[in-house]
Chain A
Amino acid sequence: MADKHSPLAQFEIKTLVPLDFGGIDASFTNSALMMVATVVVVSAFLILGMRRNALVPGRWQSIAELSYVFIANLVKDTVGSEGRNYFPFIFTVFMFVLFGNLLGMVPYSFTFTSHIVVTFTMAAVIFVGVTLIALAKHKMHFFSFFMPPGVPILMAPLLIPIEIISYLSRPISLSVRLFANMLAGHTLLKVFAGFIISLGVFGVAPWLFVVALTGLEIVIAFLQAFVFTILTCLYLNDALHLH
């Protein structure tokens, strides 16, 4: 597809270990490597950070606790006390996306969140899961979600399709937002990085821009993980409390 210097070459999936299970391609790729690396880094970060389990935490333990408290407060504020049961899942989502984004910022690594199939799979699982929770909790009453209270009955034929479309588009907006941010940011970095050498002495301008952009991308890596998580929480809140 793309040649070696294309800005899109960084997104190419490279098979590292070809695996095949009964005709299903389960090859271990650079994407899979980064996913496994994310799991290992996050687990090591949290487990080793808490190994001393000090009453007065050190720097590392403080950061581990901070990430926990940050998401715990987010869940409490958006979902309420019922969100406690879903906290481990939401915490996993946040840490997985955040470290996936951040590890993708390491030069020559790979950003698995820049692939729509990854973000969409996560969004779809969240969407289906949240809908199942809502159905289990509210049974048929769940469908009143598509008819906001206080709306005149005459508006129903117009409003209900809109509500259904907006509900069904949730996994798409959730996944595209993360994927597009990662794709755009990394492509832009690569494009401007390509100018540095070709412009010679004047390459210092795109070089400075790339330095600034790298900082911005790290902020975006955090921000998008946060947005992905908070939207998950909001969807969960809708499922638990409907309106």
Chain B
Amino acid sequence: MPQLDFTTYVPQIIWLVISFTAMFLVMWKVCVPRIGGALEARQKKIEQNLERAAELKAEAEAAIEAYEKALADARATAHEEIVKVQADLKAKQDAEESKLSQTLQARIKEGEATIDKALQGALASLDTMASDVAAAACERLTGEAPDAKALEKAVAGAAKARQA
């Protein structure tokens, strides 16, 4: 059994010590710090990114809040404006309406007065027209012009009889 050949022990131990020590130094001074550093850097980066994500989330939430507030403010302002404009319009409309009705009233009165005046005029000229018509009729029937005074009297009498 070669494992029990004691003459091979010393060189094996010597080379074990040499190679193991060399490997330990490489691991200790190069590999372990390098890999450990890489892992640490990654962990740090992940934590930083998570922090940054949390910050951004908070910012986004603040922005949403501000936006919602602005929206509510805008709604309230718009509502106020609408109410105000509606009230203004109503007031203006009322004023215009009353003014228009006053004007119309005045014009109706004016028209009534004109009609009344025209009626009076017409009534006044009716007598003259009647005596003219009677005079003309008389002249045609009798061949001579009637006496102006008698005609006037007759017309007035007829008018009176008609009115009665």
Contact = CB atoms under 8 A, between A and B. Distances in A.
A117 B30 CA distance: 29
Given A2-B2, A35-B15, A121-B13, A43 B39 contact: no
A205 interface: no
B20 A122 contact: yes
Nearest to A49: B35
Given A50-B35, A55-B42, A31 B12 contact: yes
A41 B31 CA distance: 13
Contact of A13 (B8, B23, B41, B42): B8
B82 interface: no
B11 A35 contact: no
Band of interface residues on B: 35 or more
A35 B15 CA distance: 7
Contact of A179 (B3, B20, B39): B3
B120 to A, nearest CB: 113
B124 interface: no
Contact of B22 (A39, A88, A116): A39
Contacts of A28: 11, 15
A64 B11 contact: no
A11 B32 contact: no
Interface in A50-83: 50, 53, 55, 57, 61, 64-65, 68-69
Interface in A121-162: 121-122
Interface stretch (A89-97, A215-223, A224-232, A234-242): A89-97
A96 B23 contact: yes
A69 B43 CA distance: 13
Nearest to A54: B38
A118 B31 contact: no
B3 A53 contact: no
A183 interface: yes
Interface string B8-50: 1111111111111011101110111011101101100100000
B13 A92 contact: no
A47 B31 contact: yes
Contact of B32 (A8, A19, A38, A91): A91
A38 B11 contact: no
B30 A32 contact: no
Contact of A32 (B5, B15, B24, B28): B15
B164 interface: no
Interface of A: 1-2, 8, 11-13, 15, 19, 24-29, 31-32, 35-36, 38-39, 42-43, 46-47, 50, 53, 55, 57, 61, 64-65, 68-69, 87-89, 91-92, 95-96, 112, 114-118, 121-122, 179, 183
Given A43-B26, A61-B38, A118-B13, 8 more contacts: A15-B11, A26-B10, A26-B11, A27-B11, A64-B35, A88-B24, A91-B32, A92-B23
The 7 closest A-B pairs by CB, nearest first: A32-B15, A35-B19, A13-B8, A88-B28, A46-B31, A39-B23, A68-B35
